C-alpha cells in the first residue's frame, strides 16, 4: 500500500513540486508565465532558485522568446572613457529612466585596444580583433553572454584584424 505523499516511483510530492518551474503547474505553463516577465527583471528571476537561474540562461528559454516574438531589443554601445579605455554600455529603450548602464567585466586585455569589431547575435555580444599602440592586429574574440552577464574568450578569428 502506498504511503500518503509518495508517488509510486518512490519520489515524494515535495520533490516533484521542487522539480517544476512553478509549483503545481506543468512546466509548459510555467514557461508561458515566466517568459512574459520583462527582461530587466531576468536578473531577479535568476535569484529565485538554481532551477530558475539555469532555465533563464538556457537555450530553451531564448528559443521560446524568439519563437513567440517576446524578445526585447536593448541597445549596446562601445565607448571610450576619459582615460581612453574601452567601455561597453547597454540601454533598455522601454525603461522609463532611459539611462545607459555600464556592462561590467570587460576583459582587461581589450581596454586599450583600437579598431575592434562589434557584433550582436541572439543573446551574445562579440568583440572582434583590434590592435593597440604596442601590439599588432589580433584575432582574439570575446563574447558577452547577456543571460549569464559574463564575458568569456571565444574561438579566435582565422585572420588577425
Q: Is the pTM of this model over 0.75?
A: no
Q: Is the pLDDT of residue 5 over 80?
A: no
What digits encode the pLDDT tens for the residues 13-68?
A: 444 445 788 888 888 898 898 989 988 888 888 889 888 888 888 888 888 888 88
Residue written as grid cell 575592434 = 116
Q: Is 99 exposed, middle or buried (0-12, 13-18, 19+ CB in 10 A)?
A: exposed
> What is the mean predicted confidence (pLDDT) over 83-98?
86
**Cα dihedral across residues 40, 41, 43, 46: positive or negative:** negative
pLDDT band (50, 70, 90) for residue 124: confident
Per-residue pLDDT of 129-154, as tens digits, reads: 998 778 889 999 999 988 778 899 99
Amino acid at each position: 500500500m502506498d504511503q500518503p505523499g509518495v508517488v509510486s516511483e518512490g519520489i515524494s510530492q515535495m520533490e516533484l513540486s521542487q522539480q517544476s518551474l512553478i509549483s503545481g503547474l506543468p512546466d509548459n505553463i510555467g514557461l508561458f508565465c515566466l517568459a512574459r516577465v520583462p527582461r530587466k527583471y531576468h536578473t531577479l528571476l535568476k535569484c529565485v532558485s538554481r532551477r530558475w537561474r539555469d532555465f533563464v540562461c538556457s537555450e530553451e528559454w531564448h528559443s521560446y522568446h524568439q519563437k513567440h516574438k517576446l524578445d526585447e531589443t536593448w541597445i549596446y554601445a562601445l565607448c571610450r572613457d576619459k582615460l581612453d579605455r574601452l567601455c561597453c554600455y547597454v540601454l533598455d529603450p522601454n525603461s522609463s529612466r532611459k539611462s545607459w548602464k555600464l556592462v561590467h567585466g570587460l576583459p582587461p586585455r581589450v581596454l586599450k585596444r583600437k579598431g575592434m569589431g562589434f557584433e550582436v547575435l541572439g543573446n551574445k555580444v562579440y568583440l572582434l580583433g583590434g590592435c593597440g599602440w604596442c601590439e599588432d592586429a589580433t584575432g582574439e574574440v570575446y563574447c558577452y553572454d547577456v543571460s549569464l552577464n559574463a564575458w568569456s574568450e571565444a574561438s579566435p578569428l582565422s585572420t588577425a584584424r
